[in-house]
Amino acid sequence: MDIQTAKQIRIADFLYSLGYSPVKQQGINLWYKSPLREETEPSFKVNTERNQWYDFAIGKGGNIIALAQELYCSDYVPYLLQKIEEQIPHIRPVSFSFGKQSFSEPSFQQLDIVLLASPALLAYLQERGINTALAKRECKEARFTHNGKRYFAIAFPNISGGYEIRNRYFKGCIAPKEISHIRQSGKPRSTCYVFEGFMDYLSFLTLRLESCPQSPDFDRQDYIVLNSVANVPKALYLLGSYER
């Protein structure tokens, strides 16, 4: 991917692929709670005609490349283009609904969260080298209708009631997009391990079980799963309470 190709991607679609939806619309502008930090009031604007963004809290804005610089904390353009390109399979043209306005928001209809039991999903996990017993403990199964079609996917919960969802053909999220924080019961742990995605987390648990089957010590530490590199600031806040 080159810079010009990246600039053709709608910023609203890119944000949606990362799990961010606008809070309101004012004419050609979509307003978001900033993907760059925690906030209660939307201060992040996307101009849908110019395909530009602006974050009023930090006084920065620009095109999708400038947004990627902030999201991924890098100025190295080839790396930023790679990160944008990685989202392409999950980017779909979307529109949004606010009250009586004419936009319609894509949604997961007839959503059911059940125990993870689908043979197809379990087979997919096995192909990925994931221990299915561990996956059943950590994940659920989401069944939903989207664009008139019925789907099912592995669902990994986050701290705000949303889910990261994944199957053999699809990767996405059920809003709100958030980190996942797995805290052990009993005495607070001094150590927390951090993973980018929940498949990384499941892979770690699987490898730990294989290497120490008699005493994997899963509960010796807590875990954070970012679910998006844009969630790093949220994770850093929580990590402040740990020694390491």
Are 150 and 223 part of one and the same domain? no
Q: Is the pLDDT of residue 15 over 50?
A: yes
- Across the chain, mean pLDDT equals 87
Are 226 and 167 part of one and the same domain? no
> pTM score, two decimals?
0.59
pLDDT in tens, 101-154: 333 344 566 788 999 999 999 999 999 999 999 999 999 999 887 667 778 899
Phi and psi at residue 108, in whole multiples of 5°? -90, 110
Asked if residue 39 belongs to a domain, the reply is: yes
**Angstrom distance (rounded) from CA 214 to CA 224:** 24
**Angstrom distance (rounded) from CA 20 to CA 37:** 12
pLDDT in tens, 160-217: 888 998 888 777 788 778 999 999 999 999 999 999 999 999 999 999 999 999 989 9
Per the structure, how many domains does the chain have? 3
pLDDT in tens, 140-164: 999 887 667 778 899 999 998 889 9
Residue 183: helix, strand or coil by DSSP? coil
**Angstrom distance (rounded) from CA 178 to CA 236:** 13
**Angstrom distance (rounded) from CA 31 to CA 168:** 33
Residues above pLDDT 70, as percent of the chain: 90
HEC string of 124-151 equals HHHHCCCCHHHHHHHCEEEEEEECCEEE
Residue 32 pLDDT level (bands cut at 50, 70, 90): very high
Asked if residue 160 belongs to a domain, the reply is: yes
Residue 77 maps to which CATH number?
3.90.580.10
Q: Is the pLDDT of residue 100 over 50?
A: no
Closest of 13, 52, 10, 45 to residue 29, by C-alpha: 45
DSSP 3-state helix, strand, coil percentages of the chain (rounded to 5)? 30, 25, 45
Q: Is the pLDDT of residue 65 over 60?
A: yes
**Structural domain of 26:** 3-90
Closest of 91, 103, 43 to residue 64, by C-alpha: 91
Are 137 and 65 part of one and the same domain? no
Are 86 and 67 part of one and the same domain? yes
**Angstrom distance (rounded) from CA 193 to CA 226:** 11
- Overall average pLDDT of the 47-65 stretch: 93
